[in-house]
Amino acid sequence: MQDNLNVVVAQSPAELVGPSERLAWLETSIRSIGERGADLIVLPELFLTGYNVGDTVDEWAEGRDGNAFRQIAGLCRRHDIAIHFGYAERDGEHLFNAAACIGKDGAVVATHRKLLLPPGFEANHFEAGRECRTFEIGQFTIATLICYDAEFPENFRHVAAADLVLVPTALAAQWEVVAHKVIPARAFENGMFVCYANHAGHENGIDYLGASCIVAPDGRDLARAGRSEQLLFASLNISQVKAARERLPYHRDMKKLPWLKAI
C-alpha cells in the first residue's frame, strides 16, 4: 500500500449559482488536474449550494441518495479520484450543514454534520451534528471538521487518531487569523496534516478570504492559495505524521496533566 496520498484542495469561485453550475465547474476542474495522479480532491463548505444563499439553501438541499451525490459518484469512478465536498443535507424534516467523501469506486466513504453553528444564516437554517468519525483512504486515517468546528482545539483533540483532517470552510476576509494562524497551529499541536478548503471571491455580500491551504504536521504550509480561484496540490507522506509526534509528543504528555482527562 502506498505511503503517499496525493491531494488537491479546490478553492472554488463563490459566484457559481446552484448545484448545476457548481458540478459543471467541478467536472472541468477534475479534467484540468490531468495526469497529476491525484487521489483526493477537497472542496469548500456548502460547495454544492453556495454558503450565503439564504432560504434558497432549503430548495437545493438533498439527501445522501440525491442527484448531486449520483453525479459526483460518477465523476469519482470516471476519473479514479475521491471527492470530499460540502453540501446541505436533508434528512426528513431536518437540515444539516454537512460534508461527504465519495471514494474512487463511487461509494460514500464518510459523512459529517457540522457540530457547531455560528449565529445568523447557519443557526437559522441548520441543526447541529452530534458526532465525528474517522475514515480510511489508503494508509491515512482521516477526519472531517467544518469551518467553525476547526476553531476549537477540543475538536481536533477528539479526532487525535487522525493523520489528516479535512476542513471545508466559508471563511470571510475579516477572519484572516484563522486561516494563517489557527489552522497551522492545529496541525502543529496535533502532529497531523490539515487540508483547509475555502471559497474565492464574493457571494451575496460576503467577501471571502481565500487562503485555502495544505499544512504539514510541523505546521508548515505545503501549499497556500491567494484570493482567487485556485487548485492546490501536495503529496502527503504518512511518515511525516509519525516523525512529528515522536519529536513533539503532545498527545502523550498531555495525559500527565492532573486537571485534564486522558483522551
Residues with catalytic function:
45, 114, 147
Euclidean distance between the first and the last CA atom of the chain, given in angstroms as a whole number: 29
Q: What is the 3-state secondary structure (H, E, C) of 166-209?
A: EEECCCEHHHHHHHHHHHHHHHHHHCCEEEEECCECEECCEEEC
CB neighbours of 100 closer than 8 A, spacing ≥ 6? 64, 69, 84, 85, 87, 108, 110, 111, 112
* CA-closest candidate to residue 194, choices 227, 223, 174: 223
Q: What is the DSSP letter of 3?
A: S
Length of the chain: 263
Which cell is 5 given?
496520498
